[in-house]
Amino acid sequence: MSRPGFVLTVDERTPPLLMHEGEGFRLERLPLGTRVVYPPDSLKPLRNVDAHIQHALLNPLGSEPLPELLRPDMRLTIVFDDLSLPLPQMQTPDVRQRVIEHVLELAAANGVDDVELIAANALHRRMTPAELKRVVGERVFRSFFPERLGNHDAEDSANMVEIGTTKHGEVVELNRRAMESDLIVYVNLTTTPMSGGPKSVSVGLASYRSLRHHHNVHTLRHSRSFNDPPNSAMHHSYERMADLVGDHVKVFTVETTLNNDTFPSSTGFLNKREWEWNVADQASYLAVKRGNDLMPAKARRKVWQKTVAPYGVTGVTAGRPSDVHPVTLDNVHRQQLTEVQGQADVGIFGLPYICPYNVNSIMNPILVMSLGLGYFFNLYKNQPIVRQGGTAIFYHPVPHEFHPVHHPSYIDFFDEVLTQSTDPAVLEKKYEEQFATDPWYIQLYRKSYAYHGVHPFYMWYWGAHALEHLSEVIFVGGDRRTTTRMGFKAASTLADALEIASHTVGRSPSITYQHAPPLVVADVR
Amino acid sequence: MGADIVEGGPVDENGRDDGGHGEHGAHLAGQHVLLTGATGFLGQATLEKLLSGYPTTRVSVLIRPRGSMSGADRLRKLLRKPVFARWRERVGADEVDRIVAERVTVIEGDLSAVRDLPADVDVVIHGASTVSFDPPIDEAFDTNVTGVVTLYEALAAAGADPHVVHVSTAYVAGVRKGVVAEASLTHDVDWRAEAAAAESARAQVETASRRPEVLRKVMAEARAEHRKAGPQAVVESAEPARVDWVHKRLVDYGRTRAQSLGWPDVYTLTKALGERAAEQMWGHTGHRLSIVRPAIVESSLRYPYPGWIDGFKMADPLIIAYGRGILPEFPGLPDSVLDLIPVDFVVNAILAAAASPPPPAEPGYFHVSSGARNPLPFRGMYENVHAYFSRHPMPDSERGHIQVPSWRFPGTTQVERMLRTGERAVELAQRTLMRVPASDRTRTWMRSVHRRQQDLEVLRTYADLYQAYTQAEVIYDDSRTRALHDALPAERREVHGFDAAEIDWEHYLQEVHFPGVTASMRAFSSRPRSKGSADDALPERTDVAAVFDLEGTVVASNTVEQYVWVRLAGTPRSEWTRELTDLVRSLPRYILAERRDRGDFIRTFMRRYEGVDEAELRRLVADSVGDALLQRTMPEAIRRIREHRAAGHRTVLITGTIDVLVEPIAPLFDEVVAGRMHSRDGVWTGYLDSPPLVDEARAAWLRRYAENTGVDLSKSYAYGDSYSDRAWLELAGKPNAVNPDPALYRHAKRKHWKVQNWGQHTRGRLDALTGSVSSEVNR
């Protein structure tokens, strides 16, 4: 049994604490009285993952065992979570590969011939062949690519099908092959409470027509937080859609969860609480920090992007989605949930080098915004760690960099749209449609490796709740030009940031620092 | 320069009704004055003075029609200039019109063809002269010698016997030391022979310029510079270069001839010969002749208002250049006299001389100068300039103010050495920069080298031109001028005086002259710098095209890089080394071909594609090679293309690259003009299907395209990166140089084209290779 999460109150004896800031990190001395939220210690992984997978497939929840669902003349579609999970990528073999191999073995044993594998990338960029191979493994890749292993294409209208409309009028348009299968096996990886469950099929295989019903400003402002499904309007929408999917096609889901071994042993100190660093940790901090600062920017990015996590698997559950997901959520909470008493005037977050949309890519300013005000701000249950009208302080250099192939519409969004307004509702009304239907972006999404034209808007909506909740957003070490463009402030030090914040939260604000990654969800009472 | 720079003193009030009294003849009362060169600096001031200060004097002005403007039009325009502003304010616009109508007659014509002159002229003030010090020899003689001859012939023909005031220059004395008397020049140069020689010089030089040796050289230079832009561009630059050669040669003829006869330049030589012609044709033939020789005429001390000046006069470019900080040293002698004289003194002296004619056949000579009695040493001038600009530095755009240098007067030799070193360094830097690959940094370097070169050119011009004046160890005696001044009635001296001794140099230079000459420069350089980067919004219309080059404009890659992608993506990793080694071995050959001709290069290089299976290549492009191309695109270019599309413009891509390779971006364009490989049974033979579309061939294509589609090229947009794109960029009304190579950058700067700096988020060469091409191999 590992130690539970912990809230530290900074006092005179507290050492400087680790703060992620993009492709780097620092030790920062925080004001006395600051509360620091740590996740529970990394859970012990399952020892024999294959055995657990086998067990889950043969003893599913709310469903017949998988072999009983398989017949020779059936159409089987295996759908798996895409590159955006987990972060960073996990050491091979990826748990998805293991699950898929087991499923395929059972399918083969039961004489299923018509099998197709689809990455549930929705409007994300296509995965490259190399990336697909990394997730599904050499053997599967060689047998199925490219004819029967590929990416979901939400703009291939011939291969999309509208299966109906929810009672709220939400159109559900999904991948035709999957919808016209006899069985979908969804291979999932859940690393935050927002993922998995109803989201898997109804979001991962959807089109813009369908996604717009929950990926919008109104829904996101009423998802408090989107990591707390019962209180998330977005998840309510997912569930309505998932119900419709359930009526239409049989879905057998396999959900897996990971522990918090986010960083490899060479940077093991990043997984530990600072006052518990031993001499080796301190030495390796100094060496890694120094080496990292000295490295040329390109090389540094390469090193960080090549980092893989030695994640351990903490749970494998299979069966009917609605029966499986509560178990999964419980596993996630076990690893990530830490109780915090009350909100603070100021919340501090150190933003790391990676988010779901810059794997093997570049974290551009808009992705920084969505990581900070979207993902990190929403890592809470009940209420945000910052009070309404409070200030959020993020650590990130917010460099003016974009990946021209992966994020072409982001560049235009940043230069053409954000210069007009930063209000999510205005952007949604005036520009979303134009970007979403732009034939050039669609072509790049389908044929190249670009995120869909509408994706930067979703990223911006991701922060809509935080934008409404906070009165001030400050980036320590942020590029003044990019932060100003996005309507935020830049400060060179924490002291300066608190000085700026003093106009809204006073001279001696209460402060909470959410210490992540490894990820922690604050259960704020 | 506005008339309101310096407030007028009480002089104006006094000047109002002066000169009006006195009997006929005294102070030109009731007389008829013919004025030549009325539109010039001295002429304007003289006319103004005659109109405002000599109320009973009639004036005829000889003005040459120019373009569609008649002489009378030019006079009307002249009367609106600042020099007349005070007078106009004083008497009112209507009164000005009335006075001009009543007293001024315009004689249309110029000195090469003077029509009938009025016979009743009492005084001729001949002020017409070339403005330049270094004109081609024939032009200088035309105005300063032949013009004089024509004038006196016309006067004789009209049967008039006026007193001629011949305005010359003190510097006709030529290169000499010591005191120069107010007397006829002592030289025996035959002005008729010199004039005839000058006249024939142009024909000779024109003939010489057509000799094959000269033309070959001109062609070689044009080719070296413009070959990349195409054969037509070479020809187009060769002929102007020949004309320029003729001009330079004639200037050289003039200067060298002048120096061989003892004058510093052709201006002073021709003015000296003009004097001799005047003496022979008028002064010594029983007529009255006064020769007035001003020194360096500068802005007025008092009249019509302190600091009035028209354009830049001789010393002014020097002053400005000093204030701009580009004269680190100057080859002047600190103790030599810089002989300045305010323009109002010169005008007063001319009119005083006009009013007191010498006896017939005994010409009078007057030096209007300051050097004899109130000398301003060059050092004193420098101190004043330095003090002035230290107190009132010139604004340096948005970077505060310019710091002016301190001179140490190191002497001619050292300044010359410094200059020559600077010029060599700049030339070397420029030649180097033309050869290095284009980048934002090299363009910054080019800008600074270009600026440095301009500064050096300014310095060189002035050093050469003014050396004679700033090193003069000569004093112009002005005792006759002084006697003329002393003869003025005491009450006239205040307004009509010209005593050089009364000039307080510090006051004149720092309070009057420098503010006057720097005002317009200040206004110019304190303008906020344009922000440059913002593109104009594109007008919505369907009859325009936006034409893009591919390599270097839309994508950062080139033919060789694309080839590497194709080859590496299509061959197993084990063969990469062999493939790359072979490519590197052939590079020198390709570079030579590229130097020679872009088309040659493409032809040679494309041979490498021999044996490529087109279907397989298409697959590679769809998978990985196309992705590499997209990695190397410039996002700003893509956005611009899309903006053009959104505005309804036709988007056109012209490239020498093979069509298959540009497929990933083809959907952005309404028209793609790309190369095509010849194939047999689906396999490429290594030959092109048709000649590669480069430089002027693209221009020809574009012209035809515009004709066929009704596109208005003058409203169209063109985007290119290389000097070889010049021909077709020029066809469009809105050319843009995108990350231009040095030659195109220079051209774009000269022509004020928009220079775009694109590619901020473009991925590197290696990223494209490792990110895309190797992913192909991994599978």
Q: Which of B630, B643, B774 to mutate to test the interface with A (most CBs of A within 10 A)?
A: B630
Residue A483 and residue A35: Cα distance in Å, rounded? Answer: 26
- CA distances, B17 to each of A439, B101, B103 (Å): 82, 19, 16
Angle between helices B412-435 and B440-470 (to 10 degrees): 160
CA of A422, closest CA in chain B: separation in Å?
A: 21
Chain A residue with the nearest C-alpha to that of B778:
A130
The per-residue pLDDT for B333 is 78
**CATH number where B188 lies:** 3.40.50.720
Q: What is the mean pLDDT of chain B?
A: 84
The per-residue pLDDT for B1 is 34
Residue B365 and residue B373: Cα distance in Å, rounded? Answer: 17
The per-residue pLDDT for B749 is 83
Residue B531 has pLDDT above 50, yes or no: no
Could B778 and A130 be called an inter-chain contact, meaning their C-beta atoms sit closer than 8 Å? yes
**Which carries the bigger pLDDT value, residue A292 or residue B429?**
A292
Residue B131 has pLDDT above 70, yes or no: no
CB burial readout B15-53, b (16+ within 10 A) else e: beebbeeeeeeebbbebbbbbbbbbbbbbbbbbbbbbbb
Lowest mean pLDDT among A349-353, B679-683, B745-749: B745-749
Position B510 in a domain: yes
Among B331-340, B528-537, B543-552, B585-594, top mean pLDDT goes to B543-552
The per-residue pLDDT for B468 is 65
Residue B465: band (very low, low, confident or very high) from pLDDT cuts 50, 70, 90: low
Q: Are residues B430 and B563 located together in one domain of the fold?
A: no
Residue B20: band (very low, low, confident or very high) from pLDDT cuts 50, 70, 90: very low
**Burial environment of residue A488 by CB neighbours within 10 A (0 to 12, 13 to 18, 19 or more):** buried
| C-beta separation of A114 from A77 below 8 A | no
A141 lies within 8 A of chain B by CB: yes
Q: Dihedral of CA B483/B489/B491/B496: which sign? A: negative
pLDDT digits (tens, 9 = 90+) for B71-92: 889 998 988 999 999 999 998 9
Mean pLDDT value across residues B103-112:
83
The per-residue pLDDT for B683 is 92
Residue A218: band (very low, low, confident or very high) from pLDDT cuts 50, 70, 90: very high
Mean pLDDT value across residues B378-388:
86
DSSP summary character for residue A343: -
Residue B8 and residue B89: Cα distance in Å, rounded? Answer: 12
**Element housing A67 (H / E):** helix A66-69
Best CA proximity match to A189, nearest among A45, A73, A309, A84: A84
Q: In chain B, how many H helices and how many E strands?
A: 31, 19
Residue B38 has pLDDT above 50, yes or no: yes
The per-residue pLDDT for B269 is 92
The per-residue pLDDT for B704 is 93
Chain B residue with the nearest C-alpha to that of A131:
B775
Position B535 in a domain: no
Q: Are residues B220 and B126 located together in one domain of the fold?
A: yes
Which chain B residues are Cβ-neighbours of A402 within 8 angstroms? 635, 761
Residue A200 has pLDDT above 90, yes or no: yes
Give the pairing type, strands A35-38 and A6-9.
Answer: antiparallel
- CA distances, B66 to each of B35, B69, B78, B80, B779 (Å): 18, 5, 13, 17, 78
Residue A76 has pLDDT above 90, yes or no: yes
Residue B6: band (very low, low, confident or very high) from pLDDT cuts 50, 70, 90: very low
Residue B524 has pLDDT above 70, yes or no: no
Best CA proximity match to B476, nearest among B369, B340, B560: B369
pLDDT digits (tens, 9 = 90+) for B134-190: 789 999 998 889 888 888 888 888 888 899 999 999 888 887 788 889 999 888 999
- β partners of residue B179: B475
Residue B371 has pLDDT above 60, yes or no: yes
DSSP summary character for residue A413: I
User: Who contacts B553 (Cβ-Cβ below 8 Å, separation ≥6)?
Assistant: B634, B637, B719, B720, B721, B738, B739, B758
Residue A48 and residue A58: Cα distance in Å, rounded? Answer: 16
Percent of chain A with pLDDT over 90: 96
Lowest mean pLDDT among A515-519, B127-131, B424-428: B127-131
Residue B637 has pLDDT above 90, yes or no: yes
**Which carries the bigger pLDDT value, residue B420 or residue A125?**
A125
The per-residue pLDDT for B535 is 63
The per-residue pLDDT for A25 is 94
Which residue in the block uniquely carries the two structure tokens 């509702």?
Answer: A425
- What homologous superfamily is domain A6-41+336-524 in, according to CATH? LarA, C-terminal domain (3.90.226.30)
Chain B segment 601-630 residues within 8 A of A by beta carbon are: 622-623, 626-627, 630
On the CB side of B453, how many CA atoms lie within 13 Å of its CA? 15
The per-residue pLDDT for B16 is 37
Chain A segment 108-137 residues within 8 A of B by beta carbon are: 128-130, 133
Distance between the two ends of chain A, CA-based, in angstroms?
Answer: 25
Residue A309 and residue A360: Cα distance in Å, rounded? Answer: 15
The per-residue pLDDT for A433 is 95
CA of B627, closest CA in chain A: separation in Å?
A: 6
**CATH number where B693 lies:** 3.40.50.1000
CA of A129, closest CA in chain B: separation in Å?
A: 7
Position B6 in a domain: no
Among A419-433, B51-65, B445-459, top mean pLDDT goes to A419-433
On the CB side of A150, how many CA atoms lie within 13 Å of its CA? 11
Chain B residue with the nearest C-alpha to that of A449:
B627
Could A447 and B668 be called an inter-chain contact, meaning their C-beta atoms sit closer than 8 Å? no
Q: Are residues B133 and B190 located together in one domain of the fold?
A: yes
Residue B22 has pLDDT above 60, yes or no: no
DSSP summary character for residue A419: T
Residue A86: asked if its preceding bond is cis (omega within 30°), the reply is: yes
B275 lies within 8 A of chain A by CB: no
Residue B529 has pLDDT above 60, yes or no: no
Residue B272 and residue B152: Cα distance in Å, rounded? Answer: 16
Alpha helix (H) residue ranges in A353-454: 365-369, 408-412, 424-430, 432-436, 439-447
| C-beta separation of B38 from B61 below 8 A | yes
Q: Are residues B123 and B35 located together in one domain of the fold?
A: yes
Residue B12: band (very low, low, confident or very high) from pLDDT cuts 50, 70, 90: very low
Task: Among B525, B557, B572, give the residue marking a domain's end.
Answer: B525
CA of A297, closest CA in chain B: separation in Å?
A: 13
Best CA proximity match to B170, nearest among B338, B11, B282: B338
Q: Are residues B287 and B199 located together in one domain of the fold?
A: yes
Could B635 and A145 be called an inter-chain contact, meaning their C-beta atoms sit closer than 8 Å? no
The per-residue pLDDT for A94 is 95
Distance between the two ends of chain B, CA-based, in angstroms?
Answer: 75
The per-residue pLDDT for B779 is 44
The per-residue pLDDT for B394 is 78
Residue B459: band (very low, low, confident or very high) from pLDDT cuts 50, 70, 90: confident
CB atoms < 10 A from the CB of B184, how many? 14
CA of B699, closest CA in chain A: separation in Å?
A: 29
**Burial environment of residue A123 by CB neighbours within 10 A (0 to 12, 13 to 18, 19 or more):** buried
Position B494 in a domain: yes
Instruction: Show the domain range for B351.
Output: 11-525
Could B630 and A411 be called an inter-chain contact, meaning their C-beta atoms sit closer than 8 Å? no
- CA distances, B590 to each of B553, B564, B599 (Å): 21, 14, 11
Q: Are residues B645 and B614 located together in one domain of the fold?
A: yes
The per-residue pLDDT for B23 is 45
Could A404 and B762 be called an inter-chain contact, meaning their C-beta atoms sit closer than 8 Å? yes
Q: Are residues B505 and B588 located together in one domain of the fold?
A: no
Lowest mean pLDDT among A450-459, B304-313, B401-410: B401-410
Position B540 in a domain: no
CA of A122, closest CA in chain B: separation in Å?
A: 20
Lowest mean pLDDT among A44-53, B109-118, B484-493, B545-554: B109-118
A448 lies within 8 A of chain B by CB: yes
pLDDT digits (tens, 9 = 90+) for B197-235: 999 999 999 999 999 998 999 899 888 888 888 888 888
Mean pLDDT value across residues B587-609:
84
Residue A293 has pLDDT above 70, yes or no: yes
Could B779 and A145 be called an inter-chain contact, meaning their C-beta atoms sit closer than 8 Å? yes
A49-258 CATH fold = Rossmann fold (3.40.50)
The domain spans of chain A are 6-41+336-524, 49-258
The per-residue pLDDT for B119 is 83
Number of structural domains in chain B: 2
Position B475 in a domain: yes
pLDDT digits (tens, 9 = 90+) for A105-136: 999 999 999 999 999 999 999 999 999 999 99
Q: Give pTM, 2 decimals.
A: 0.75
Dihedrals phi, psi of B62, to nearest 5 degrees: -95, 110
For residue A174, give the 3-state DSSP assignment: strand
Residue B604 and residue A336: Cα distance in Å, rounded? Answer: 63
Residue B4 has pLDDT above 50, yes or no: no
Dihedrals phi, psi of B473, to nearest 5 degrees: -110, 50
Residue A148 has pLDDT above 50, yes or no: yes
Residue A165: band (very low, low, confident or very high) from pLDDT cuts 50, 70, 90: very high
A444 lies within 8 A of chain B by CB: yes
User: Who contacts A188 (Cβ-Cβ below 8 Å, separation ≥6)?
Assistant: A80, A81, A195, A196, A200, A253, A254, A255, A256, A328
Q: Are residues B234 and B180 located together in one domain of the fold?
A: yes
- Closest partner CB to B635 (pick from A141, A400, A404): A404
The amino acid at residue B480 is R
Mean pLDDT value across residues B584-610:
85
